[in-house]
Structure 1
Amino acid sequence: MVLTAALPAPASLAARQPVAGETIRVFFDNDFLGPGQSNIQAMIPLMRDPRVRLEGVGVVTGDAWLTEEVQHLLRFLEIAQRRDIKVHAGAEMPLLRTPVEMANWEAAYGKVPFKGAWSTPRQGRTYHPDQPRLVPPLTEGAPMLKPAADDAVTALIRAVRAHPGEVTIVAAGPLTNIALALRVAPDLPDLAKAIVIEAGKVDTGFGRATGNTDYATDFNFLFDPEAAHIVLTAPWKRITAVGNVSSSIKMTPELADRIAAAGKPVGSYVKRYARLGQPLWDEITVAVALDPTLVTEEVVAHLDVETQRSASYGQPLIWKSDMAPAGTRAVHLVRAIDAARFTRRFVEQAAR
């Protein structure tokens, strides 16, 4: 296990900093629960960093159903005046998990309080677990913008093949779309520059029992364990898992006020719809993908996901490199970031 830590960032981390004027090609895949909140707010760095060339945005069922997520994202892009960004609908269901299977698993091994699109309806939330194509009235207004005609898997494969060695795949939701793309195009890991995922929350068992269970649960692995396994065992040039660190900074009233202070449409949107107290999971994931020098500590270890139908189904598995089973791969697990620099930059980007 290799550990790099302390500020300033080690040379091995600093060497990955993008140079001025460099184009950073990104394909972003996420589950866009809305309005606002971490999923959609993660679009802000991708829209505001002048180095970024966003090759497409894939949508996957996760925190909400696919059809509703697409509508929330399209409306946000209208508000942000970024109608040029292409939105591609992807997988509506995980590879194997179903609501019935998850309910049976809960009966045997314990409750999962947050099940994303399959969550029990409750006051103040618009969950509709039995109606996958229902779009409740959007509080931010219905979009006029339409999604692209081609699906997320097709768009991802096309983007990576068009720019070999240049596209970083950033996946902040369940990994269903990425796994499907790997099955269609097994050359994807050779052609992509890297993949950065939000998941990988190791050592969270005590936190699930003593704190906010939702925030200590690796939902993106849990919702589609088989997809996570396929992605983690593919031969990418580099895999980064933001993991636990994605929960380290939360949206506070003070942060929302700073973002809204400039009076710009995106800042006002965040101020109105941000969920206070919620970690900035996906915003941090995107920020790390765009600027790896934000990372001040990382561990390199082998990572996989339990796919046996046991009490540990969907939980991350981690080994030292010399102890790992065949087929697993080294992953850069982020352990700490420069929180002040991340927050300052995110506020500036939202206010532009």
Structure 2
Amino acid sequence: MTKILPTLLAAAALAIAPTVPALAKDAAAPTAAPASAPTEASQDGKVRIFFDNDFLGPGQSNIQSMIPLLRDPRVDLMGVGVVTGDAWMTEETQHLLRFLEIAGRTDVPVHAGAKMPLLRTQAEMANWEARYGRIPFKGAWSTPRPGRTYHPEDPDLVPPMPEGMPSVAVADTGAVDALVSAVRQHPGEITIVSAGPLTNIALALRVAPDIATLAREIVIEPGKLDTALGRATGNTDYSTDFNFLFDPEAAHIVLTAPWKRITLVGNVSSKVKVTPEVAKRIGKAGTPVATYFETYARLGQPLWDEITVAVAIDRSLVTEELVVRMDVDTMPGMHYGEPQVWKDDMAPNAGERPVHLILGIDEARFLKDFIAQAQQ
């Protein structure tokens, strides 16, 4: 664990300003793609990525999102940070290390990050639910149930791993220090990709606020909008923006930092799912990664994080986007942790930044490329 994490929580809390909740119904006119990509690029043409995620495992969207990062020849993966979210950070780290062994990529450095959100606690979330209604999926705080190994009261427990325990260890450098170092060593070249709660990124901004202007861009997956009907009529878990809800203050810090570009892959990340046909097609390749995918992929689950990574690597996948102002509500109440968006002239100008909200991608090309990568 990075040495600086325990000393930052109080400072981060003091720096958080309440967010004015509002929602624009006509934020701006969508633009056709291909959407414009950041102007900076690495000298060797590589897409240099530092990836931060909550790696619930084995399989599923979190770990499966590593596949494009490991197999796409355009990617220079600078490091991977792990943050508590869908599961506890300690357990997630073990699942990720084991997957990297199976994929033959133990050269990728894995950095342990935050074990807890900046301010939100399990007790506070339970009190919120008592007032405003149940949150169906609570990640590491989820109630144990048959077929799932949640252990909300034991952050350091690693339940038996069906894929086997890893024989490699986590890097000595923590996730926050590793992220700051990568961005400063490669100014204008690092794309930060976050597909879990934004705790590690927020802490990095508090240690080194200059990373916002030194990074090429940040690509984020959550930010689902207008999902109330989906929560009532469809899969409630899949219509709840867990990443923001788990650490709203971290999301606020990240969304109001002066990045050169913020790209948010929200609702569109739910449009392509793991079907039995996709799992069988990948599994037929018989490679270690293909077999792992077919064995542990959750059928019917959207390819949330995989799509986010693919957009970060290849912006030409985007077919439609919308530029909005966005923040997360951090005020006590029913909408705590929800994203809020405005068109430019309606924003409260309380630090919110322009966000490139991805509305559409070339789903067929994404799936074709992902299947080919997973078969390797």
**TM-score range normalised by the length of the shorter chain:** over 0.9
Contact 2:40 2:189 in 1 (8 A): no
Structure 1 stretch displaced more, 253-262 or 193-202: 253-262
* Separation (CA, whole Å) in 1 of partners of 2:177 and 2:37: 34
Correspondence for 1:202 among 225, 243, 256: 225
Q: Shift of the alpha carbon at 1:13?
A: 3.4
Is the 1:16–1:293 contact (alpha carbons within 8 Å) kept by the matching residues of 2? no
Partners of 1:346 and 1:238 in 2: CA distance: 25
How far apart, CA to CA, are the structure 2 residues paired with 1:20 and 1:155? 21
How far apart in 1 are the matches of 2:302 and 2:39? 26
* Distance (Å, rounded) in 1 between the aligned partners of 2:205 and 2:172: 21
AA aligned to 1:136 is: P
Q: CA deviation at 1:263?
A: 1.0
Match of 2:104 in 1: 81
Displacement after TM superposition at 1:287 (Å): 0.2
For the residue of structure 1 that corresponds to 2:30, the secondary structure is strand
Which residue identity lines up with residue 328 of structure 1 in the other structure?
A: E
1:258 aligns with 2:285: no
Counterpart pick for 1:294 among 317, 321, 325: 317
DSSP 3-state at the match of 1:13: coil
Q: What residue identity is the alignment partner of 2:180?
A: I
The answer on whether the counterparts of 1:221 and 1:305 sit within 8 Å (CA) in structure 2 is yes
> What is residue 155 of structure 2 aligned with on the other side?
132
Give a deviation string over 1:112-134, Cα, whole Å, max 9, x none. Answer: 01000000000000000000000
The aligned counterpart of 1:229 is 252
Give the TM-score normalised by structure 1: 0.96
Q: Runs of 4 or more off by more than 3 Å in structure 1?
A: 12-21
Deviation at 1:22, TM superposition (A): 1.5
Of 200-209 and 31-40, deviating more is 200-209
2:334 corresponding residue in structure 1: 311
Read off the aligned partner of 1:4 and give its amino acid letter.
T
Structure 2 counterpart of 1:344? 368
Which secondary structure state, in structure 2, belongs to the residue aligned with residue 336 of structure 1?
strand
* Partner deviation per Cα, 1:35-58 (whole Å, 9 max, x = no partner): 000000000000001111111000
Q: Classify the secondary structure of the residue corresponding to 2:91.
A: helix
What percent identity do the matched residue pairs reach?
69
Within 5 Å, give how 1:12-91 maps onto structure 2.
12-13=35-36, 22-91=45-114
Distance, in Å, in 2 between the alignment partners of 1:258 and 1:171 is 28
SS in structure 1 at match of 2:245: helix
Task: Supply the RMSD in Å over aligned alpha carbons.
Answer: 1.5
Q: Is the 8 A contact 1:71 1:142 kept in 2?
A: yes
Q: Which amino acid aligns with 1:260?
A: G
d(CA) in 1 for partners of 2:81, 2:31: 33
- Return closer, same or farther for 1:117/1:161 CA change in 2, 3 Å cut-off: same
Q: Does 2:183 correspond to 1:156? A: no
Q: 1:335 aligns to what?
A: 359
Q: CA 1:17/1:344 → structure 2, altered by over 3 Å: closer, same or farther?
A: farther
1:211-290 equivalences in 2 (<5 Å): 211-290=234-313
Name the CA distance, whole Å, in 2 between partners of 1:42 and 1:324.
33
SS in 2 for 1:129: coil
The answer on whether the counterparts of 1:13 and 1:295 sit within 8 Å (CA) in structure 2 is: no
Partner amino acid, structure 1, of 2:185: A
Q: 8 Å contact 2:59–2:297 — kept in the other structure?
A: yes
8 Å CA contact 2:55–2:93 kept in 1: the answer is: yes
Aligned residues of 1:167 and 1:194 also touching (Cα < 8 A): yes
Aligned pairs, how many?
Answer: 348
AA paired with 1:83?
T
Give the unaligned 5+ runs of structure 2.
1-27
How far off its partner does 1:2 sit?
Answer: 4.0
TM-score normalised by L of structure 2: 0.90
SS of residue matched to 1:258: helix
The one-letter amino acid paired with 1:331 is V
1:272-315 deviation digits (Å, cap 9, x = unpaired): 00000000000000000000110101110001101011100111
Distance in 1, matches of 2:312 and 2:97, equals 23
CA distance in 2, matches of 1:316, 1:61: 20
- Rounded Cα–Cα distance in structure 1 between residues aligned with 2:37 and 2:325: 23
Give the direction of change, closer, same or farther, for the CA distance of 1:21–1:50 in structure 2 (3 Å limit).
Answer: farther
Residue 75 of structure 1 aligns with an amino acid whose one-letter code is R
SS in 2 for 1:348: helix
